Amino acid sequence: MAKETTPNAAAKLNGYASKAKAWLHSRRDMLRKPVRASGEGAAHGGRRSRSIPGAFGVLVRKEVSDHIRSWRFILLLGIIALTCVASLYTALNSIRDALGSEDGVQEFVLLKLFTISDGTLPTFIGFVGFLGPLLGIGMGFDAVNSERNKGTLSRIMAQPIHRDDLLNAKFVASLIVISIMFLTLGFLTMALGTLIIGIPPTFEEFLRIISFLLVTIFYVGFWLNLSIMFSVRFRQPATSALSCIAVWLFFSFFYDMILQLIAKGIAPSAPTTTVQDVLNYQNLMMWLNRISPYTLFNEATTTLLVPSVRNLGPLTNEQVIGAIASPLPFGQSLLLVWPQITGLTALTLICFALSYVLFLRQEIRGRS
């Protein structure tokens, strides 16, 4: 995609990107409006109509306050905040070297805070990629089954609300809490970095960081949904927590190993191998890799935060020839990771749909 970027083509693509963005925004607004409206309904008190209009808002408010009051949330927040501070510290330690080594490119200093480290600790995005799932799992693994075990589920379901309201409220509330948390952390990191380095962020840097945070929220949202699904499926919170952690560990560690095994097996080694074969092989491995949400997240965030990443697949020599070694504009980076973001969203939706189906078909009895 866009190897020999003529300014004209770039402008065109940029136009598409901004159109896509506008469309996205309109979608998002459409999605958000009903939520907000029902929230207001709750605040103003309800009318007694067929279905209570504010019930969803009430449930969301209850869930959010449950999260914020809980010890678990404070602990998770503490862990994430600590890692952010730690990675910021290591990044600041090594930022001088990093800036010096790259031949005079002094752009995107602030972004480097998120992507470099002095080697003692992982980078900011590394940390978030690793611990984000833990946060999602921690917030969702007992969403439904703990209510069931406490006997509150059947009491809530006896109120005039739809069954899916409960599940939606759990998801939306957790996502709201996660969003607030990551946006806050991101902005704090940005602010601290700006203060310490003394270089104000450009608008593009700002956009990139915002989109990085949004992708992170999507990513954590996926794990949240996965854990909600397990919490619907399993009656014991411990079982669902363990299943989530198993999936998380699988994708964090074992999936890579398995892929390496497969790669060794199918790598083209015959003397007759053509370039096409190698390319096919590379592409296959890349797609296998992209099943993992971890890979999707890493690719997306790296591209967004490192503007010099031009392509995520293999590049042939011909493709590289003539390419200008300059960072991609923001719109191009966004276009490059669009499939990854779509993939993450799709995974999230699949989990949500599954938990939806499971929950709607379940019978809700006392504590059984």
Quote the least distance from Cβ 240 to another protein, whole Å: 19
Quote the least distance from Cβ 71 to another protein, whole Å: 10
What are the angstrom distances between the C-alpha of 263 and each of 35, 83, 283? 46, 33, 11
**The only residue of 68, 150, 180, 353 in contact with another protein, by rule CB under 8 A:** 150
Segment interacting with another protein, rule: CB under 8 A, options 97-105, 148-156, 263-271, 336-344: 148-156
Quote the least distance from Cβ 138 to another protein, whole Å: 17
**Contact partners, residue 293, CB within 8 Å, separation at least 6:** 219, 222, 223, 251, 343, 344, 347
C-alpha 132/C-alpha 127 separation (Å) is: 8
Quote the least distance from Cβ 165 to another protein, whole Å: 9
CA dihedral (221, 340, 29, 34) positive or negative: negative
Residue given tokens 């097996």 in the structure block: 265
The 339-368 contact track toward another protein, x by CB under 8 A, reads ------------------------xxxxx-
Output 46 or 314, the one with its CB closest to another protein. Answer: 46
Residue 32 as a binder of another protein (CB under 8 A): the answer is no
Backbone angles phi, psi at 320, to 5 degrees: -75, -35
Touching another protein, residues 49-108 (CB under 8 A): 49-55, 58-59, 62, 66, 69
Quote the least distance from Cβ 66 to another protein, whole Å: 8
Output 58 or 334, the one with its CB closest to another protein. Answer: 58
Query: C-alpha 317: how far from its chain's center?
Result: 33
Output 157 or 309, the one with its CB closest to another protein. Answer: 157
Touching another protein, residues 240-269 (CB under 8 A): none
Quote the least distance from Cβ 154 to another protein, whole Å: 4
Segment interacting with another protein, rule: CB under 8 A, options 145-153, 199-207, 282-290, 299-307: 145-153
**The only residue of 15, 34, 46, 313 in contact with another protein, by rule CB under 8 A:** 46
C-alpha 319/C-alpha 279 separation (Å) is: 13
344 touches 300 (CB < 8 A): yes
The 151-180 contact track toward another protein, x by CB under 8 A, reads xx-xxxxxxxxx------------------
Segment interacting with another protein, rule: CB under 8 A, options 29-37, 45-53, 126-134, 346-354: 45-53
- # of chain residues touching another protein (CB under 8 A): 34
Quote the least distance from Cβ 145 to another protein, whole Å: 13
C-alpha 195/C-alpha 88 separation (Å) is: 12
C-alpha 340/C-alpha 266 separation (Å) is: 25
Segment interacting with another protein, rule: CB under 8 A, options 149-157, 197-205, 211-219, 311-319: 149-157
Output 49 or 269, the one with its CB closest to another protein. Answer: 49
**Contact partners, residue 139, CB within 8 Å, separation at least 6:** 67, 72, 73, 76, 174, 177, 178, 224, 227
Quote the least distance from Cβ 160 to another protein, whole Å: 4
Three-state SS letters, 51-107? CCCCHHHHHHHHHHHHHHHCHHHHHHHHHHHHHHHHHHHHHHHHHHHHHHHCCCCCC
Residues near another protein (CB under 8 A) are 42, 45-55, 58-59, 62, 66, 69, 150-152, 154-162, 363-367
